[in-house]
Amino acid sequence: MLNRKLHSKILIGLLAIAGFSSCKKTNNIGQDNDSVITTPHTVLAGTELGWIVKTNDGRTFNNVFGQDGSPIKMVTAAGPNVLILKSSLFLSDNNGKNFNPVNYSNYTAKPWRYWVMDCPSHNRVYMAANVDWGVVYSADSGKTWQPDTKWQENTAPNLRISSFGQLKNGAVFAFNEEYNVLFRRDGVDGNWNAVTIQGNYPAASAYFLTTNSTDLFIVDHNGFGGAWYSLNEGTNWEKFGNGALPVQGLEKFVGSASGGSGTLAIATENDVYFATTGSAFIKANTGLQIGTKISGITAKYNVYKNGNIINFLYIATTKGVYRSDDNGRTWDKVSFNEFDKNYSAIY
């Protein structure tokens, strides 16, 4: 068991963070206008020394779990709980008071975060695993896991899934990096069905899948194939122009995130790159300290009473946590003082 004292600022219910189903903000009580945030975003970040922090606004941080010297390799929501990867998987179901080992060992960790996905609309957490068809799920917020056996007829059982994504319309996608095969599920009781790809498509390398509310993206972790996008749920794919994007395989791509349709920010180990569907990538390091190393990137959203959605991007770096309010073109450091740490994972 991992046990650490909580910081005095932590609140009861700190980790009720199931994506868009997050709890409502309470600092607007008595107001009734369109500026009220009905669904705030939640960011979790972990450090090289095992510390986990949380923010809902990119300005105010709270301690979730004290450092224990063991690096956080992955952090994600699991319903109202928090799931982390250190030397193995650990889960907190009591607001971060402690993290207990997960009694499941067949998971397949990847060098990108997207091998685990919290899926509130299915009341499940999906995870890549070394089992038939390559997917396990938890219906109890990460406590227990079971193989997902609902697949399109004749799907090879030795399939291995390596990343997941979901669109606003509810469609959930699972991606196989070995053959660049994309699967889709349109409901928790439905099968995973292969998506028929038409037209141009990259050769297999080590692509991972990410999404925004309407678009799909695949990015080559190995740094050769660049980035591709689909505007029609995986049927047709186009390549973003390379521009300044390094595609010689000299550095790894650690993540990608898109706040708005037609935009994409890609994080390599050393830089951030930004592009729209109609432009080439440009280096987008404005605001980052020189020598900053990047470990991950994530997109977050605030949903307002009038239906407006405002997006933000965050990156975890050796120099702290940075936020972008313009889809990844520029960055502002948001972690200071005791929270100015070397961050190794972000959700």
- Domain locations in the chain as residue ranges: 104-346
For the stretch 232-291, pLDDT in tens is 999 999 998 889 999 999 999 999 999 888 899 999 999 999 999 889 999 999 999 999
HSE value, Cβ hemisphere, 13 Å, CA-based, for 109: 14
Helical ranges in 164-230 per DSSP H: none
pLDDT above 70: residue 99: yes
- Average pLDDT of the chain is 90
- Give the three-state DSSP class for 100: strand
What is the percent of the chain with per-residue pLDDT over 70, rounded to a whole number?
90
Tokens of 281: 């990538």
Which pLDDT tens digit goes with each residue over 181-200?
Answer: 999 999 999 999 999 999 99
For residue 276, give both structure tokens.
């729209």
Which CATH architecture fits 104-346?
Answer: 7 Propeller (2.130)
Q: Which amino acid is at 104?
A: Y
- Average pLDDT estimate for 111-124: 97
326 DSSP β-pair partners: none
Per-residue pLDDT of 30-62, as tens digits, reads: 334 466 878 889 999 999 999 999 999 999 999
Alpha helices by DSSP H, listed for the chain, are none
Q: Could you tell me which residue, 304 or 336, shows the higher pLDDT? A: 336
Q: Is 115 helix (H, G, I), strand (E, B) or coil?
A: helix
Percent of the chain with pLDDT over 90: 82
Whole-number Å distance between alpha carbons of 45 and 82: 11
Burial (CB < 10 A; 0-12, 13-18, 19+), residue 3, is: exposed
Cα–Cα distance measured from residue 157 to residue 161, given in angstroms and rounded to the nearest whole number: 11
pTM of the model: 0.89
pLDDT value for 29: 31
